[in-house]
Amino acid sequence: MLARLEWRAGAAIIQTAFKSERLPNTTELTATLTDSVKYLRGVGPHRAAVLEEHGIATVGDLLSYLPFRYEDRIRFTPIAEIVPGQVHTILAEVTGGGGSTVRFRRGRGALFHLSVRDKTGTVYVRFFHGGYLQGKLKDGQRLVLHGKVEADPYRPARVEMVNPQMEIVSDGEGQPADSTEMGRIVPVYEAMGGISSRMLRRIVYGVLLHFDGNMPDPLPPEIRERFRFPTRREALAYAHFPPKDENLEMLNSFRSPAQVRLIFEEFFYYQLALTLRRQRENHRAGIAMRVREERVREALKRILPFKPTEAQKRVLKEIADDLEKPYPMHRLLEGDVGSGKTIVALEAATIAIENRCQVALMAPTEILAAQHYLSAKRIFAPAGYFVELITGGRTKAERELAALRVQAGQAQFVVGTHALIEGSVKFEKLGLVIVDEQHRFGVLQRKRLIEKGASPHVLVMTATPIPRTLALTLYGDLDISVIDELPPGRTPIETRWAADTQLAGVWEFLRRQIARGRQAYVVYPVIEESKQELKAATAEYERLAKSVFPKLRAGLLHGRLKNDEKEAVMEQFRSGELHVLVATTVIEVGVDVPNATVMVIEHADRFGLAQLHQLRGRIGRGSEQSHCILIAPRTITGEARERIETMVATSNGFEIAERDLKQRGPGEFFGTRQHGDAAFSFAQPLRDREILEMARREAFALAENAEKAREVASRLEMVNPSWQRRYQLASVG
């Protein structure tokens, strides 16, 4: 690692990279870190608004938006030298090729054809859903195309690219491409809302060219020197426009010294913020609860219909110990689907309630909240405790009444969806906050709930099995408990892959299982039929109920039903009244009906790996043999095939998580992206694990000297205030 961090005279390289270049027609205005992007060359009010939507308001933000890939545009592959099956970057010209250049086909999504050539040969290019390209290309235009090139299966002499990444680099009228896009290693940015990678490249280039050079470096000099990191300014210039002789492979694996430094920096400040907050938290007064062993044990015996597993006992002990401490607990409870987290949460709640505190449990879906509400009521009502449900689906009057009971302290256990965080919900004494499936919530949502109490204890739960070391680093301010054992008597789920053509047999299998007293889920990717030509839950429900299972009782569950309808259907399924539940992914999280042992997932190739695993986690919850049947064409290839094969091969959540991380990258995996509060813009915890460890060690070492640590942390503001906000929020509960 250290050897790879060697920084070879970085400054010199950057200077030569920029010295002789000037964009045509640029005025000599200088750009400063804090300048608004609005005034940059190439950015008008419209683009400025788009940039701002993506969190890019200033020059500093813009420079922190780094390329996700680099293309070698010094050495293109001549078409004659293409090796089918490999990824190539080619430079070629749009050509008539003896016929029309552009064919446009209506119907099943527009298909856009094109042929391009260089001096050595011709490549055929197809764009599915390429309707937007109509009229955009002209003969003679030069294109850079990047992607996998394949031999045409029917005409092996002919090579083609399907949906490559494409950039027009000249307009075909002799106008040469400018130096940002040719004859160098070219950065490729993720386009945003109509601002293409090419436009971003030009904007960034312009900024770098006119940058006033004033870029403070927040990293402590001793760290920078020890790792021989380039300065921040050098690193950014280099990461946007690497010099010609840089190793492309190293750049694309994010291991050039400049990139390593920028990754390190993100992790370092993140870890530093976590440690400092941790130090503060440990000084904050919390509610020290009394855990009376016998009372708890007795209460547990009353509420538990089974013996807790060793793992559940251990984890509860860890939680109980935290609750006794005079500062607030911050604990992550990790356990694979079906490992029995709910019971542990309810046990923790028991302790809090016995200590005259209120408990809030937040779940990501109405269905799950309703389910928790029912189990909690079953457990707490006999003890004389009142359980309240707060979801967006209840009537206004109901909600107001509920809010009153919560505020007056009449309700001890309050279950709900994100409706819980609304301003109208106030607690009398909130002592414990539990967040189920925490990765489904944004940081701010969790924070808002926590702020409804005065330093309450916090327990967040997740079924996303993050490798423990990674979790420790990512959630540096949380303690972690792991349930690493399933309740006894579970029979492993048998998972099979079947083709559409085998469905008749699948339905017959379902009938036989149901005849034995079992229940089944049938899952579809969409609610209603659409252009995508996917089978939809609503239509298939009608069809299945009428012509496939006329003698069985089937129900339909999806996100667009009204809440009382959802609850009614779920209750019918839970009570065994329904044999078959046709559903969308609304059942993905948390739903618990142990007698349901069969799950059929249609279009299984359309689901992500984590999602398939979660869905499958709905079965295999009892002692009966469970079966999961994934319906997908036998012909699928690539990642879709890998996903199905992984599902068939293993039901180990940790294994699946590892593979999923590899396929998708952790942004999506941790569920942070959609909330716009991702902790890192450039660093990726899984890809960059070694750098993360390194940064963590350094941050911890620095934090031993609290004063110095705070001083270093405060320097972040001068680099990027929006980062500072982000780190303040990082990983809250």
List contacts with Mg ion (CB under 5 A): 590
Choice between 651 and 724, CB closer to Mg ion: 651
In the block, residue with structure tokens 């004859």: 183
List phi, psi (to 5°) of 70: -130, 145
Q: How many residues bind ligand ADP (CB under 6 A)?
A: 19
Residue 10 binding target from ligand ADP, Mg ion, none, CB below 5 to 8 Å by type: none
Residue 697 binding target from ligand ADP, Mg ion, none, CB below 5 to 8 Å by type: none
The reply to whether 596 sits near ligand ADP by the rule CB under 6 A is no
CB of 482 to ligand ADP, least distance (A): 12
- Applying CB under 6 A, which part among 147-155, 183-191, 233-241, 306-314 lies near ligand ADP? 306-314
CB of 434 to ligand ADP, least distance (A): 12
Residue from 130, 286, 487, 653 binding ligand ADP (CB under 6 A): 487
The reply to whether 335 sits near ligand ADP by the rule CB under 6 A is yes
Are 319 and 331 spatial neighbours (Cβ–Cβ below 8 Å)? yes
Enter the tokens of residue 511. 């009938």
The reply to whether 308 sits near ligand ADP by the rule CB under 6 A is yes
Enter the tokens of residue 587. 């059942």
**454 exposure class (CB count in 10 Å sphere: 0-12, 13-18, 19+):** middle
Closest residue to ligand ADP using C-beta atoms = 340
Residue from 376, 463, 522, 604 binding ligand ADP (CB under 6 A): 463
Residue 518 binding target from Mg ion, ligand ADP, none, CB below 5 to 8 Å by type: none
CA separation for the pair 345, 364 (Å, rounded): 16
CB of 411 to ligand ADP, least distance (A): 22
Are 700 and 273 spatial neighbours (Cβ–Cβ below 8 Å)? no
- In sequence order, which residues have a C-beta less than 8 Å from that of residue 25 and are 6 or more positions away? none
Choice between 590 and 620, CB closer to Mg ion: 590
Residue 309 binding target from Mg ion, ligand ADP, none, CB below 5 to 8 Å by type: ligand ADP
Enter the tokens of residue 46. 């419209």
CB of 23 to ligand ADP, least distance (A): 56
Choice between 246 and 336, CB closer to ligand ADP: 336
Amino acid identity, residue 167? E
CA–CA distances in Å: residue 236 to residues 10, 663, 720: 11, 28, 14
Torsion of CA 381, 382, 383, 384, to 10 degrees: 50
The reply to whether 599 sits near ligand ADP by the rule CB under 6 A is no
- Applying CB under 6 A, which part among 524-532, 588-596, 640-648, 671-679 lies near ligand ADP? 588-596
CB of 95 to ligand ADP, least distance (A): 58
Q: Which of 67, 68, 60, 71 is nearest to 233 (CA)?
A: 60
Residue from 261, 372, 621, 726 binding ligand ADP (CB under 6 A): 621
CA separation for the pair 693, 528 (Å, rounded): 46
The reply to whether 540 sits near ligand ADP by the rule CB under 6 A is no
CB of 285 to ligand ADP, least distance (A): 32
Choice between 393 and 465, CB closer to ligand ADP: 465
CB of 444 to ligand ADP, least distance (A): 24
CB of 390 to ligand ADP, least distance (A): 20
SS3 of the chain: helix, strand, coil, percent, to 5: 40, 15, 40
Amino acid identity, residue 336? D
Q: What are the E-state strand segments in 541-679?
A: 554-557, 580-583, 596-601, 627-631
CA separation for the pair 319, 477 (Å, rounded): 16
Q: Which of 333, 350, 508 is nearest to 435 (CA)?
A: 333
The reply to whether 337 sits near ligand ADP by the rule CB under 6 A is yes
The reply to whether 39 sits near ligand ADP by the rule CB under 6 A is no
Cα angle for residues 611, 617, 623 (degrees, 5° grid): 165
Catalog residues that contact ligand ADP under the rule CB under 6 A.
306-309, 312, 335, 337-343, 463, 487, 590, 592, 594, 621
